Structure 1
Amino acid sequence: MYEFNIQNMTCGHCAGTVEKAIKAADPTAQAKVDLPTRTAKVETALDPATIAAALESAGYPNTFTSL
């Protein structure tokens, strides 16, 4: 599992866009997006850099760590 700290996520619409970007990169990913902390916890078989790139492409700069 990885935790992504997501910049520019300021509203519910943003959180939905973040979740869609994660699911577009990995349809089988389990994602929990938390707007107040601007984080997303993601369980994925993909390299986390792939998810990070998808978020970046959607307009959300981010950093990630392993949990």
Structure 2
Amino acid sequence: MIVAIDGPAASGKGTLARRLADHFELRHLDTGLTYRAVAAALLAKGLPLGDEGVAIEIAQNFDLA
């Protein structure tokens, strides 16, 4: 099952998603946090933020644990 929650920034999407996941005993992936973590990794390595291929490579080899 996949549940996606959309809405404006700071509207409580993350809180709602975590609570729903806990309630229904589902896994939760914070895509916003993932996006920011990949961007931070690109910046730390001095890689361009606008290169989609590089970002995909970083994301595929990123440990989210």
Does TM, normalized by the shorter one, top 0.5? no
Q: Which has the higher contact order (CA 8 A, sep 6+)?
A: 1
Larger Rg: 2
Scaled by the length of structure 1, the TM-score of the pair is 0.31
Scaled by the length of structure 2, the TM-score of the pair is 0.32
